[in-house]
Structure 1
Amino acid sequence: MEEALGFPKLFALAEDNGLTLPRARKGPHKPGVKLLLREKRLLVGRREVPLEGSGRAFDLMVLLAEGPLPWQEAGRRLWEEDGEEVRKRLHTTASRVRDLLADREAVRWRGEVLELDPERRWVVV
């Protein structure tokens, strides 16, 4: 943590000497996601992401891996009900998926339809 405080000074020193350094580099691609149903495990690329809580985020990823769904249908499949309360739960659950994958585009709302990020490869086994 202490070293991180020195990075702005290092970048400034480099720029003062005519060297421009990239501030951040985007990865070449988004790692694939593997959802292991039997063990209820989540693998992103080569790393395992720990799952905690009710498991609804995992269930939502499995559900949406089949294809986009209207939010009412997703709610019925996850909670056996729909309505405004379920819509709020889906927003919270989608946020949890985004947190697990550290990607704000992991779950997308397209009007009334939920979908997984098509730039990733999603595999359910």
Structure 2
Amino acid sequence: MLDESRSVPHVRAALGWPEPPAAPDEARLVTRGRLGVQRGLTFVPMSGEGRSLALLAYLIERGGAPWPRVADAVLGEGTEKALYGQVRYHVSRLRSLLGDSEAVRLRGGRLSLGPQWVWSTDLRGGQGPCLLDGPLGWLEAGED
């Protein structure tokens, strides 16, 4: 009965059981060969988004961090105001490209990924050149 209640919504509702929690969506950032995101069987190409995807790659590989640390690692040099503007731009681009306003978060001075996604990348051990734009020294460097 338990398995049937998960697959038949009206049985679950008749028993007064809550909806089961949704499993996180899986997505893989593809940086070699063709730049984009693989979501299930769907590939979303993202040409011309190298810096935005570099920011996404940083968050996937290193986890959430204060925005100045991410900006320093991914975007390079600039004034604090200019870098913050760039971070906001790239966060907005990623949200738009992914179709999810909570995919990438900028809250309380920290950048992070939303929990509704399980991310992976092909950055380590992939074949072919990496197509991300910007500095990638953070990939080999240890934790700051």
Structure 1 length-normalised TM: 0.71
Deviates more, 1:44-53 or 1:59-68: 44-53
Alignment partner, residue 46 of structure 1: 41
Amino acid at match of 2:69: E
Whose Rg is larger?
Answer: 1
Q: Deviations over 1:69-114 (max 9, x none)?
A: 1110111111222511010011010011101110000111120100
- Structure 2, unaligned stretches of length 5 or more? 1-21, 123-144
Judge conservation of contact 2:103–2:116 (CA < 8 Å) in 1. no
Report the equivalent of 2:11: none
Indicate conservation of the 8 Å contact 1:44/1:101, yes or no.
no
Identity of aligned residues (%): 31
1:86 equivalent among 83, 88, 105 = 83
User: Does structure 1 residue 68 correspond to structure 2 residue 39?
Assistant: no
Point out which structure has higher relative CO (alpha carbons under 8 A, 6+ apart): 2
Contact 1:31 1:121 in 2 (8 A): yes
Gaps of 5+ in 1: 1-27
> Hey, what's the Cα distance between the residues in 1 that align with 2:51 and 2:45?
14
Alignment of 1:1-125 (within 5 A): 28-39=22-33, 40-65=35-60, 66-81=62-77, 83-125=80-122
